[in-house]
Amino acid sequence: MVIEVDTERADEALLRHMYEIRRVCHRAVAPQEEPPDQAWGVASMRVTPPGEQRWHGVVGDPVVAFAGLYLPPGVPTGFLRICVLPEHRRRGYGSALLNTALDRARAAGRTHITGVYGDPAAAGFTAATGAERGHSVIACRLDLPAHLPPVPVPGYRAVSWTGATPADLLDSYARARNAIADAPTDSGGRLHDEWTPERVRDEEAAVAERGQQLRVTAIVADSGEIAALTQLVVPPPPQKIVSTEDTAVVAAHRRRGLATWVKAESLALLVADRPDLEVVKTSNAGSNTGMLAVNRALGFTVTSTWTSVVYHLT
């Protein structure tokens, strides 16, 4: 039987156990990747970004599997994660969680749900349960520092901030965030609703509530408009692994070296401010050859390859 979990109010021990299941499953696919700290994982489940719907379910006594369904606002899609401890697979736990989660997604008006898998067993499960295979997702890591120094591009300047976006850049930053919609997707359209200044502030508040630090570096054109940006989410000490969130270049400013500059600038500032940090992680669609090339030049190496899938609900 699937039991719903209200992660905003759930017992801390249950959330730690759920995150441990996720860690075990991830390491089974990518043993060379260090998972985020448990405190990071629990905080990510505990805090729901404003406007987003989340559903979590568990099965087993004791719990041996869980699912997380994430439904961003204003779009027809969402993301599903299912984790079953390896020794408890092929007993119907994954199917029970999947069916319950997809029913929830339908009730929320979603038309399709995406996810990823990384091993043959999961490939067989998704195929047997009706998922459509999508593109590859390449996970990479950088052992700090980066291999390239920042190289400015004439006609632009770099700015960086931690936490709240400066008020004079907020509108431009929100517009630039929408450039991420050009990235490859299996969702049949935009994964997120339009970025607005209000949504930017909501994101900043959610990261801060989790006890993490949001670091942003942007490239500003002489016109005053933001042309490129990259985000890092940094955990508090003693954690040493940083996650890359969005990196985007506005279409009119591409093929000028801004992606390399903005990422190199961000990483150089990170090392200067937090020399205790060791690793930066990122992931990109396998078809996003431009960003993958930028990452290779900076020193990122591939740690695992995943495959995205889509469940069509209509």
Q: What is the pLDDT of residue 183?
A: 60
Dist. CA 179–CA 160, nearest whole Å: 19
Count Cα atoms within 13 angstroms, Cβ side, for 229. Answer: 24
Q: pLDDT per residue over 46-96, tens digit each?
A: 998 888 999 999 999 999 999 999 999 888 999 999 999 999 999 999 999
pLDDT band (50, 70, 90) for residue 181: confident
The model's confidence at residue 186, banded by pLDDT at 50, 70 and 90, is very low
- The average pLDDT across 143-165 equals 98
CB atoms within 10 A of CB 264: 24
Could you give the CA distance from residue 275 to residue 27 in angstroms, rounded to a whole number?
Answer: 27
Q: Looking at residue 187, what is its pLDDT?
A: 46
Output the average pLDDT for the chain: 93
Question: At 220, phi and psi to the nearest 5?
Answer: -110, 130
Of 234, 215, 235, 197, which is closest to residue 161 (Cα–Cα)?
A: 215
Q: Give residue-wise pLDDT tens across range 268-284.
A: 999 999 999 999 999 99
Name the nearest CA neighbour of 90 among 116, 113, 64, 68: 64
Domains and CATH numbers, the chain: 3-136 (3.40.630.30), 142-307 (3.40.630.30)
Q: Where residue 17 falls among pLDDT bands split at 50, 70, 90?
A: very high
Tokens of residue 228, six digits? 């490129």
First to last CA, the chain: 25
